[in-house]
């Protein structure tokens, strides 16, 4: 085994252990964003796609580099954006209810409107 | 190493540190957003450094620049569009697709490297060949397997296990072909041989995921996530890039941990899930069973009064809630109860939803504050103090039969719903859950069944609470 490979293997195993240590502490509440965040991190494969584009010099190489760049860029951009979108929704206290939250349910609720009024009236009292 | 090369390597190291710190910050919801920014910052730095590196080296041809930029821009656009528009209920599909493209890109890197070295006429070093083959196999299996998983989650491919006679033998043959050809390639350079490995691996990904049922998806997605990470790490070995190795290992660890947590939460071994079976998807046939003796049903008025005059209510949401897209109606009802001074919290089983933690995201989207979302170990001791446990679309994870040996779900960790003072179950029929067995909770004298679709039922309950006790 070459010393280069040995070094790489060392880095791999230690990173794996660091990963296990850090990720074991993530609460179940955040497991979906965690998986999505891990997803964005493997978007680092874009770096690999850029490096193979640098050595491509024939049609096959160009096709492989193009598809790899497409896949990797989709992975990295989509991953970070969707993780951010999810994490933004986690709030300690309920924000003022957004109008679209109640809107879809409204038509089925016959009689909901008058009681709504009574309820707010009580609040004033 | 030149000074320039050293700087690039240091940037990669900093990026790797950012990934670790970013993941570390995800240990509480309060710092998780910052974690995403730190991790994203590391990613931008690594990409900019690589850009500087390839400009500095000057080996990229004009066509190379065009394909790279066109690919990256189109890919970024596709990623941005899907991330912005995806529904939270469709999150598992999107994560699956990102797994697929990540694994696919990793495999392509190895394929490119191999064909380039083979094209130069020189040999491919043995150590490179092994990692190349591992990258190609894992990456290709992840690519096709994740696409099938996404198809199943989206409902494009039937979600019940698809098994045809002899499918296991076919699987075994494909695996033998891939491994045998890989063995041959270690000593011989052959692009045709590599193509055989690629095709066999893609086929294996398909035949591996097809027989796995929809309810096992949390495990499958986690496993494919671990595969993607490993494939990316292997790509790092192939092109000698430490950033890829470290990032890939981190993702591999994350996917591995989640796979284990999910399998434990279902009380099933990974092998058992991959091989298939258990319910085998025909449980739908039994769902016509009529309400049995001893099962009490309840009207919306009674249920509303019970909820409104309770002092503590625990809501138990399950996949049925997500399937009916009723999380907003549930949050609305809970807010109404809270305004009346009822102590409301949510009991989330680890496998509620279609991917790890999915239910939490759906409820967070419906504006439920995260401190109310309780994990199983945290909420179980609270059930005896709850006046009402409201079960919405959850089944097997509430079945007390799991505590006894000898049932299909024996030993599965469950929510202690039966210990609440009274229980209301919202459910469309007396149909069984994924495990295909009757839920003993429904026959409990404390339990009342509210037979309706989750969305309708919750809307009715909300208006009943408003009308009768408002």
- Closest residue to A44, CB basis, from B28, B36, B243: B243
Using the beta-carbon criterion (under 8 Å), do B360 and A73 form an inter-chain contact? Answer: no
Structural domain that includes position A55: 43-89
CATH 3.40.50.1220 residue window(s) in chain B = 285-469
Which one from B216, B396, B438, B444 is the annotated catalytic residue? B396
Average the pLDDT over each of A68-82, B43-57, B147-161 and give the range with the smallest value: B147-161
Q: Which residues of B touch A116 (CB under 8 A)?
A: 466
Chains A–B, number of C-beta pairs less than 8 Å apart: 433
ipTM of the complex: 0.89
Measured distance CA(B257)–CA(B237) in Å, rounded:
23
Using the beta-carbon criterion (under 8 Å), do B28 and A79 form an inter-chain contact? Answer: no
Q: Number of folded domains in chain A?
A: 1
Q: Which residues of A touch B244 (CB under 8 A)?
A: 44-45, 47-48
Select from A39, A32, A78, A84 the least CA-distant residue to B225: A39
pLDDT tens by residue, B166-214 = 777 888 899 899 999 998 888 888 889 999 999 999 999 998 888 887 7
Is A85 part of any domain?
yes
Tell which CATH classification among 1.10.150.120, 1.20.1740.10, 3.40.50.300, 3.40.50.1220 matches the domain B285-469: 3.40.50.1220
At B435, list the tokens.
Answer: 């495990």
Question: Each residue's pLDDT tens digit in chain A (125 positions)?
Answer: 678 889 999 999 999 999 999 999 999 999 999 999 999 999 999 999 999 999 988 899 999 999 999 999 999 999 999 999 999 999 888 765 544 444 444 344 333 344 433 333 333 33
- Measure in Å the smallest separation between the Cα of B466 and chain A Cα atoms: 6
Please give the residue of chain B at the shortest CA–CA distance from A8.
B237
Is A80 part of any domain?
yes
Spatial CB neighbours of B378, under 8 Å, sequence gap ≥ 6: none
Whole-angstrom CA distances from A64 to A79, B78, B175, B230 are 22, 18, 25, 20
At B263, list the tokens.
Answer: 């399998």
pLDDT of residue B126 exceeding 80, the answer is no
Q: How confident is the model at residue B221 (pLDDT cuts 50, 70, 90)?
A: very high
Q: Is B264 a catalytic residue?
A: no
Model pTM above 0.80? yes
Measured distance CA(B412)–CA(B399) in Å, rounded:
10
- Closest residue to A44, CB basis, from B99, B244, B466: B244
Spatial CB neighbours of B51, under 8 Å, sequence gap ≥ 6: A50
- Closest residue to B251, CB basis, from A38, A105, A115: A38
Is A74 part of any domain?
yes
Using the beta-carbon criterion (under 8 Å), do B236 and A8 form an inter-chain contact? Answer: yes
Is A119 part of any domain?
no
Measured distance CA(B68)–CA(B51) in Å, rounded:
11
Please give the residue of chain A at the shortest CA–CA distance from B51.
A50
pLDDT tens by residue, B419-435 = 999 999 998 888 777 77
């Amino acid at each position: 085994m070459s010393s280069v490979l040995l070094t790489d293997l060392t880095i791999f195993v230690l990173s794996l252990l660091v990963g296990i240590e850090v990720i074991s502490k993530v609460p179940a509440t955040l497991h979906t964003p965690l998986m999505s965040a891990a997803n964005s991190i493997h978007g680092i494969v874009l770096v690999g796609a850029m490096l193979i584009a640098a050595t491509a010099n024939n049609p096959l190489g160009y096709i492989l580099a193009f598809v790899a760049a497409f896949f990797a860029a989709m992975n990295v951009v989509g991953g970070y954006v969707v993780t951010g979108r999810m994490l933004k929704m986690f709030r300690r206290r309920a924000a003022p209810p957004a109008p679209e939250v109640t809107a879809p349910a409204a038509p089925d609720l016959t009689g909901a409107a008058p009681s709504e009024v009574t309820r707010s009236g009580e609040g004033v009292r | 190493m030149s000074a320039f090369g050293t700087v690039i390597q240091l940037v990669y190291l900093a990026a790797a540190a950012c990934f670790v710190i970013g993941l570390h910050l995800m240990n509480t919801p309060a710092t998780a957003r910052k974690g995403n920014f730190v991790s994203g910052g590391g990613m931008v730095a690594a990409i900019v450094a690589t850009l500087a590196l390839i400009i500095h080296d000057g080996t990229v041809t004009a066509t190379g620049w065009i394909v790279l930029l066109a690919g990256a821009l189109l890919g970024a656009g596709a990623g941005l569009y899907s991330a912005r528009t995806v529904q939270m209920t469709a999150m598992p599909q999107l994560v699956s697709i990102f797994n697929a493209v990540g694994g696919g890109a990793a495999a392509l890197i190895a394929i490119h490297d191999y064909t380039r070295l083979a094209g130069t006429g020189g040999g491919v070093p043995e150590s490179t060949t092994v990692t190349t083959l591992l990258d190609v196999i894992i990456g290709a299996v992840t690519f096709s397997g994740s696409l099938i998983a996404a198809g199943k989650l989206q409902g494009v491919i039937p979600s019940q296990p698809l098994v045809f006679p002899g499918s296991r033998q076919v699987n075994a043959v494909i695996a033998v072909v891939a491994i045998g050809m890989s063995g041959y390639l270690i000593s011989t350079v052959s692009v045709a041989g590599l193509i055989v490995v690629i095709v066999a691996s893609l086929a294996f990904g398909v035949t591996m995921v097809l027989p796995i049922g929809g309810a096992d998806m949390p495990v499958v997605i986690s496993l494919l996530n671990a595969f993607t990470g490993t494939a990316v790490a292997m790509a790092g070995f192939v092109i000698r890039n430490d950033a890829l190795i470290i990032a890939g290992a981190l993702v591999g660890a994350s996917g591995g941990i989640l796979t284990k947590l999910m399998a434990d939460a279902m009380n099933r071994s990974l092998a058992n899930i991959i091989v298939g079976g258990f319910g085998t998807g025909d449980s739908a046939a039994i769902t016509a069973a009529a309400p049995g003796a001893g099962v009490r049903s309840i009207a919306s008025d009674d249920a509303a009064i019970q909820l409104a005059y309770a002092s503590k209510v625990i809501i138990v949401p399950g996949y049925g809630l997500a399937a009916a897209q009723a999380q907003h109606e549930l949050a609305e009802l809970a807010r109404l109860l809270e305004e009346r001074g009822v102590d409301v919290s949510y009991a989330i089983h680890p496998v509620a939803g279609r991917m790890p933690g999915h239910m939490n995201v759906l409820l967070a989207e419906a504006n439920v504050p995260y401190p109310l979302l309780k994990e199983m170990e945290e909420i179980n001791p609270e059930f005896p103090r709850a006046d009402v446990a409201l079960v919405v679309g959850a089944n097997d994870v509430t079945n007390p039969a799991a505590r006894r040996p000898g049932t299909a779900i024996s030993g599965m960790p469950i929510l202690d719903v039966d210990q609440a003072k009274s229980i209301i179950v919202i459910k469309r029929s007396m149909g069984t859950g994924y495990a295909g067995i009757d839920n003993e909770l429904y026959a409990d004298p404390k339990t009342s069944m509210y037979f309706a679709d989750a969305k309708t039922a919750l809307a009715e309950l909300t208006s009943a609470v408003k009308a009768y006790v408002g």
